[in-house]
C-alpha cells in the first residue's frame, strides 16, 4: 500500500497491478481507484485498468466503471484503450467468455453507487458495439 503514494510512477504502476488482485476490500478499493485516476502519469492508469480488466469480475469492473465515469477526458481515454484490448481478446474468445463478461457488467447496472451505474452503462455500450453476439 505504501507504493500507492510513491513519487515514482513505476512504483505506482506496480501497486496498481498488485492491488488489482485483491480488490473488494475498502482500503484496497480506495487505493486502486486513486491509481486509476492518477493525475501524474497515465502509465499508472493504463496498468491498473489492464489488471482490473484481466481480472474481469464484479469487484474489479465496479472500480473501473466508477473511475471511468468520473475521470478527466485524458484519463478516460486511457481507460477506454485498456477496455479496447480486453474487448479484442474477448472477440477472439469463446462465446461463453463474452457472455460472462457482459453479465458481470450488466450486474453493475443495479449498484447503489451512481458512478458505478453510469460507468457500467458506458461499459455496456462499448461491449455491445464491440461484441455483437
Q: Is the pLDDT of residue 16 over 90?
A: yes
pLDDT in tens, 29-75: 999 999 999 999 999 999 999 999 999 999 999 999 999 999 999 99
Who's near 99: CB < 8 A, 6+ residues apart? none
Model pLDDT, residue 131: 87
Residue 61, C-alpha cell as written in the block = 469492473
Share of the chain above pLDDT 70, in %: 99
The H or E element that residue 95 is part of is: helix 95-107
Amino acid at each position: 500500500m505504501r507504493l500507492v503514494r510513491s513519487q515514482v510512477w513505476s512504483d505506482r504502476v506496480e501497486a496498481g497491478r498488485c492491488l488489482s488482485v485483491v480488490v473488494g476490500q475498502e482500503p484496497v478499493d480506495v487505493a486502486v481507484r486513486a491509481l486509476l485516476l492518477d493525475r501524474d502519469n497515465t502509465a499508472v492508469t493504463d496498468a491498473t485498468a489492464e489488471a482490473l480488466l484481466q481480472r474481469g469480475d464484479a469487484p474489479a469492473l465496479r472500480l473501473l466503471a466508477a473511475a471511468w465515469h468520473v475521470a478527466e477526458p485524458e484519463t478516460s481515454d486511457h481507460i477506454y484503450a485498456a477496455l479496447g484490448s480486453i474487448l479484442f481478446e474477448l472477440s477472439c474468445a469463446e462465446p461463453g467468455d463474452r457472455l460472462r463478461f457482459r453479465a458481470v457488467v450488466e450486474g453493475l447496472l443495479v449498484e447503489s453507487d451512481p458512478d458505478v451505474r453510469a460507468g457500467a452503462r458506458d461499459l455496456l455500450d462499448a461491449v455491445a458495439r464491440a461484441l455483437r453476439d
